[in-house]
Amino acid sequence: MAELPPPIVPSSDIQEGSDASRRRRRPSATVAILLLIALAFAGGAVIDRSVGDSEDSSVSSTPDVVEEIDDLDDDEEDPIAPESGSDETVSAAVTSPSESEFAFTIGPERTGPFERIDVAAVAAQVGPSTVTVMAELSTGFGQSGSVGTGIIATADGEIVTNAHVVEGATSLRVRLAGETEPREATLLAIDVGNDLALLDIEGEGLPAAVFARPGSIQLGDEVVAIGFALDLDGAPTVTLGIVSALNRTLVTDVGALDGLLQTDAAISSGNSGGPLVNAAGEVVGINTAVARGSSTLAASNIGFSISVDEALPIFEQLRKQSRGEQRKEGFLGVALDERTDGGVGAVIRDVNVGTPADAAGLRAGDIVIAVDGATVEGAAGLIAAIRDLEPGDSVQITVQRGDQRLEVVAELTSRPTS
Number of H helices, E strands in the chain: 5, 25
75 part of the active site = no
Catalytic-role residue among 57, 58, 60, 272: 272
State the burial class of residue 296 (Cβ atoms within 10 Å of its Cβ: 0-12, 13-18, 19+): exposed
d(Cα 58, Cα 348) in Å, to the nearest integer?
Answer: 9
d(Cα 196, Cα 45) in Å, to the nearest integer?
Answer: 17
* Residue 244 · residue 132 · CB < 8 Å: no
d(Cα 17, Cα 177) in Å, to the nearest integer?
Answer: 28
164 part of the active site = yes
d(Cα 159, Cα 154) in Å, to the nearest integer?
Answer: 7
272 part of the active site = yes
The rounded radius of gyration (Å) of the Cα atoms in the chain is 21
d(Cα 186, Cα 203) in Å, to the nearest integer?
Answer: 13
In eight-state DSSP terms, residue 353 is T
∠ at Cα 308 (197, 96), nearest 5°? Answer: 95
Give residue 182's region: left, alpha or beta (phi > 0; psi -120 to 50).
Answer: beta
Q: Strand pairing partners for 302?
A: 291
Q: Where are the alpha helices (DSSP H) in 197-354?
A: 308-322
Catalytic-role residue among 60, 74, 146, 164: 164
* Residue 285 · residue 1 · CB < 8 Å: no
Task: Give the residue from 247, 273, 257 showing the smallest Cα distance to 153.
Answer: 273
d(Cα 219, Cα 12) in Å, to the nearest integer?
Answer: 38
DSSP E strands, 163-206: 169-175, 183-191, 196-200
Q: Strand pairing partners for 307?
A: 285
Catalytic-role residue among 118, 195, 258, 264: 195
Q: Give the residue numbers annotated as catalytic, written as ranges.
A: 164, 195, 272
